[in-house]
Structure 1
């Protein structure tokens, strides 16, 4: 999915791609490597300027297109995807930083110059040793930059120079001035120039110097645009690898049918989507506070820029030896990704910054809804205020879980339709995505009010809604929402876990109902459940996906035997359930006798969606504590925490993007499946980093905050809702369209 979420932004990205296809085919770019390295502008630069792509974010009154930073990011994303050569990125970045300045004549003159097509580059204060001293009505700047992208082709370079007082002066440098010297370097990126800018008492009049630019904000803007470009590179990798796997044959079959390659391609898509989400979040944060912008940009640097060379290498290896040849284009993207990753500085620096910030604050992912649906919001607020005056007086049977307790408070929320607001009335309030967001916000405003959970029933009741008669819905749904009925899910069997359709539990038709015989396993909370959602084979002659029924089982029925399974935690969260001639009446069969598979798929989809949303819980509490405390491991803890927060924030940004798409009326995308895999990766990385740094703390299992105790619960989360491998199969086959075996 591209950065732009609106149709207009998607059209803009497509327009840039079409421009590249007409004017900048990679085959032609290959003939101009030496000229590009020397700073010669591409032959089509004037045509690009005429289209306004370089100035889409600059004000119309100064010659630009009047768009925003996200529009510029969409242009650069498409430029990254098409390997558009030349100085577009540094030119766009220079204009974006110039827009941060106070609207002085000097700033306006620079922006007009950029809008007219002057190629440009920018040197941030951290990337040079420029020093400025005042000389009457002008400034004299001396020093040199580090290796900088675009300085050879630039007509103007915006440099940040320090003064004796510690301030930063922003000076537009005319590269043709005798006091400015540009030395080209042999660049890693073959489609753009790099070099060093040296200034010797370069004179700039007071009126030309820009003021009001915050150096940290400027760096954030530049990095967010770099991330937009590298996001486009990852998208190209996904496209070219998928096309290759669909057509390349070995051993008599298309190699895209090999599971190892399917999983690698699916992970490439997951990482590309996370990179795009992180870049998008960094760009949108430009309008927020500096702290929020730094959080988002540090995350983008860690997820969308620094890892991209390795992602391109993954793509190269999936292409095989052909990908390592000079003739294949992948090495050009690889070189560009390496250069762009280097341009933002050491990756560890960004990870540590995010870790430091993450000790005291977190990225705000809320969506600004304004005063939309104000009457509905007022009703929700009044309802939740009333709920806060009540208390729940009955704990959940399986433990002291506040979100599953029952009593007057939960009953009020349930009867108001706020337990599952997207469900139809009277069980919900038919809440569309906008109303769901409003409800989320109102709960968040009341941290003292624990939002009640349906727990396992959240994955089962949608099937009841879809297939049960009204009388059964009225019997089951309100009592479940109020916490009077508890559920378990009787799907998995010893020989039918992820391959659910292979189940062998039999349902035989008898007078008035069905007789069930079989064996279920890994059933969470079966020992506490009142009811269970049961899959059983009703027609052994039908194909394995068709001859299945979906039953509601009374767990107190004769013939139901529950045997707890003690796991590594020492607890019995899971169970085996033996079914010996268990009778289920006809009215407890949902739908027809062979409708169970479709209902089960809907249930599992609900489960995957719920698990993917677990990123809202902070799994790095122990590591966050280590990063906040002085000590020899603090630097390592800050870096590890930053890497984890960057990954978690990218998953959250993925969800926000999907929410915005739904608010816009667009169809849901693959975000749920991608988030499920990403959450699996995040959990493993979180506990790996925590264990690596916790030392002797992990020698006891009841530490505070808990480390080992939480870690021992990890397998249930990694396996629940379908293993990562099964989910990768789904992504490869259903989203990327790779062939089944």
Structure 2
């Protein structure tokens, strides 16, 4: 993905074309140098000279109905415009104008239709949101009298029309349309942080609002949520620019005779910028699509976007600035203009504590629904899956897993039925799966979700290994190993890491020497999960000591009960042996248990680790904030702090889930896989650290005992297994920097 590591908000080809069109428009009409020359005029409320050209393209009205002169698109289309415009630093009141139209879409009366028609025709607008200042409304004959002042409002000086909210005497909100040129209105210019848009304060002195200009039906919370969602798209645009600009800088700027992008510290910082940018885009996208959903779902997504996209952007742009070094701090460099925009957008949302508190309160009783809506597609396929799962509900698994009391690892008649139906890994080719398309996989997920009492079985470590057997094993080996593994009769481990190699698998020293009928293997493996229970293991060994280190490696399937295999458990911090050392002394492996050729091991290992990272990234679907939820329900002086922490963690978790949903939609559209799995692995690692940090800080004395109710320390002591498994965060950041962002290797 070199040259464009970020995935834009728009997922469809049409939305991609729309975003490209906005970018081309900005390049032609609004180069940053030209924008710099207009700062003073913009602050005074002057429209950019090209505003009429923008209107003629319809970019400002893509989300407005055809009937009022708009383009008839969706709010997600408008989100694409906003993101691209912000990435190009397009100046002027586009964002507040689009927000005003989006809010008014919920009203069905003459005043709303008139305003939407004006906006579609090119009128600029802004919104004075509830509680933004102290506007108050008192009923009069035939209308209302409004007095007071707004807070600081983006785009108010350049607005031809203002959508305003005032507090009525009965506590309800009066929404009305205002012409800022009337005598009872005045707008005070303010020195805005964002130099590309005006900022001002609206004052009304006994302003009379006739009933014809009152808009009934606007929900205050919905207006805020729409504003947050679209502002989050603008913030995501600033971060998209930052990722691209930093990547180009690190590739081309040289120090000590080589590109600074080879320095690992900068690679990791740039990779984290990409991770946070992708999470911001995912949260913004989710908030926009949730506008049409139930109020609680809309509020969950909007609060998440405020926390994940809007609030962090200033700090992330500051990180980008520092990666440019001193040159980034100069007036002539563009990064500070994006930094200013991000800071202004974050300020416009109010204190972030309010959004984290709101999300935390909602999270006590509601969960963000990340279901991909697929309607009635493939009804016959769905009916077949439903019949299998209904039959499975009448069966039980009677053999628990030796790994522990985990229902998803138990075996018996129920699991056998599911396995024989190809549902253990339905995307695998027949006969091991169904060759299920992404859409069919979603249908299967949906049918399992409809039956929460039916525990979906797991292949555990075999999920990472069996694809290599399918691709490179003989038919005899496949028949020998795959069906019993799917039924839960065989357990697996992965013998990759070594004491002297760690995550550098190509540096392994375990040797495989060819002998009659097979191979003799000698070596020492470490950090092997489940080796003490495993029937078979996937093992890497060096087959050609003279070949380059990535070349001379074989991928073997080893019987863990073979002569010469010695397993020594490694007791971890929680006193349980989660890992093992495995010593291999003249262990014989038959020829058929070498997958592929003697030197194909590296490519097979990379494929295995890719499967592992995807699986580990899916751990986000397990709720790790159970203890915090319990604590949030308990009254006390720290309850508000717990609720806000819960909101921040759920925002992060929901953004990772949204990242996965976006990737699923891209795959359903036939697009190739993006960087989501590596990004999700890093993000999940961070989410886990944040969750347990917050839990420990707020649990207090509960963490003094290892076994508590709710559980605090016991799961915390198991955390390193998840942080290290599949490659540490540092290794993943290397992969993101070099493989996704295209930064140079040393």
Q: Name the TM-score class by shorter chain.
A: over 0.9
Aligned 1:270-349 pairs, distance under 5 A: 270-349=275-354
1:2 maps to: 8
User: Residue 162 of structure 2 aligns to a residue in which SS?
Assistant: strand
2:462 maps to: 457
Aligned to 1:591, which of 587, 596, 601?
596
1:507 maps to: 512
Aligned 1:229-248 pairs, distance under 5 A: 229-248=234-253
Aligned to 1:129, which of 119, 134, 140?
134
User: Residue 389 of structure 2 aligns to a residue in which SS?
Assistant: helix
The reply on whether 1:535 has 2:540 as its aligned counterpart is yes
1:353 maps to: 358
- Residues 267-316 of structure 1, C-alpha deviation per residue, up to 9 Å, x if partnerless? 00000000000000000001101110000000000000000000000000
The reply on whether 1:150 has 2:155 as its aligned counterpart is yes
Q: Is the 8 A contact 1:105 1:208 kept in 2?
A: no
1:713 maps to: 718
2:21 maps to: 15
TM-score by length of 1: 0.99
1:100 maps to: 106
1:83 maps to: 89
2-structure distance, mates of 1:340, 1:530 = 57
User: Residue 352 of structure 1 aligns to a residue in which SS?
Assistant: helix
Aligned to 2:607, which of 585, 602, 613?
602
The reply on whether 1:216 has 2:218 as its aligned counterpart is no
Return 5+ residue gaps in structure 1 as ranges: none
1-structure distance, mates of 2:656, 2:142 = 51
1-structure distance, mates of 2:573, 2:602 = 32
The reply on whether 1:406 has 2:407 as its aligned counterpart is no
1-structure distance, mates of 2:623, 2:165 = 39
Quote how far apart the aligned CAs of 1:138 are: 2.1
Quote how far apart the aligned CAs of 1:625 are: 1.2
Quote how far apart the aligned CAs of 1:133 are: 2.1
Aligned 1:462-501 pairs, distance under 5 A: 462-501=467-506
2-structure distance, mates of 1:453, 1:362 = 24
Aligned 1:520-531 pairs, distance under 5 A: 520-531=525-536
* RMSD between superposed Cα atoms in Å: 0.8
2-structure distance, mates of 1:447, 1:701 = 31
Detail structure 1 runs of 4+ shifted over 4 Å in the superposition: none
1-structure distance, mates of 2:688, 2:172 = 43
Q: Is the 8 A contact 1:141 1:199 kept in 2?
A: yes
2-structure distance, mates of 1:488, 1:90 = 56
User: Residue 295 of structure 1 aligns to a residue in which SS?
Assistant: helix
1-structure distance, mates of 2:289, 2:406 = 37
1-structure distance, mates of 2:668, 2:708 = 43
Q: Is the 8 A contact 1:77 1:230 kept in 2?
A: yes
Quote how far apart the aligned CAs of 1:535 are: 0.9
- Residues 7-43 of structure 1, C-alpha deviation per residue, up to 9 Å, x if partnerless? 1111111111111111111101111111111111111
Aligned to 1:443, which of 444, 448, 451?
448
Quote how far apart the aligned CAs of 1:335 are: 0.8
- Residues 463-485 of structure 1, C-alpha deviation per residue, up to 9 Å, x if partnerless? 10010111110110000001111
2:74 maps to: 68
- Residues 77-106 of structure 1, C-alpha deviation per residue, up to 9 Å, x if partnerless? 0111011111111111111111111x2111
Aligned 1:362-441 pairs, distance under 5 A: 362-441=367-446
Which region of structure 1 is more displaced relative to structure 2, 628-637 or 657-666?
628-637
- Residues 454-510 of structure 1, C-alpha deviation per residue, up to 9 Å, x if partnerless? 011011000100101111101100000011111111111101221001111111111
Aligned 1:556-571 pairs, distance under 5 A: 556-571=561-576
User: Residue 522 of structure 2 aligns to a residue in which SS?
Assistant: strand
- Residues 497-556 of structure 1, C-alpha deviation per residue, up to 9 Å, x if partnerless? 210011111111111111111001011111111111111111111111111111111111
Aligned 1:651-662 pairs, distance under 5 A: 651-662=656-667
Q: Is the 8 A contact 1:55 1:115 kept in 2?
A: yes
1:52 maps to: 58
User: Residue 377 of structure 2 aligns to a residue in which SS?
Assistant: coil
User: Residue 147 of structure 1 aligns to a residue in which SS?
Assistant: strand
Return 5+ residue gaps in structure 2 as ranges: 1-6
Quote how far apart the aligned CAs of 1:134 are: 2.3
2-structure distance, mates of 1:597, 1:22 = 48
Quote how far apart the aligned CAs of 1:398 are: 2.0
1:110 maps to: 115
2-structure distance, mates of 1:391, 1:160 = 59
Q: Is the 8 A contact 1:732 1:738 kept in 2?
A: yes
Quote how far apart the aligned CAs of 1:629 are: 1.6
Quote how far apart the aligned CAs of 1:627 are: 1.4
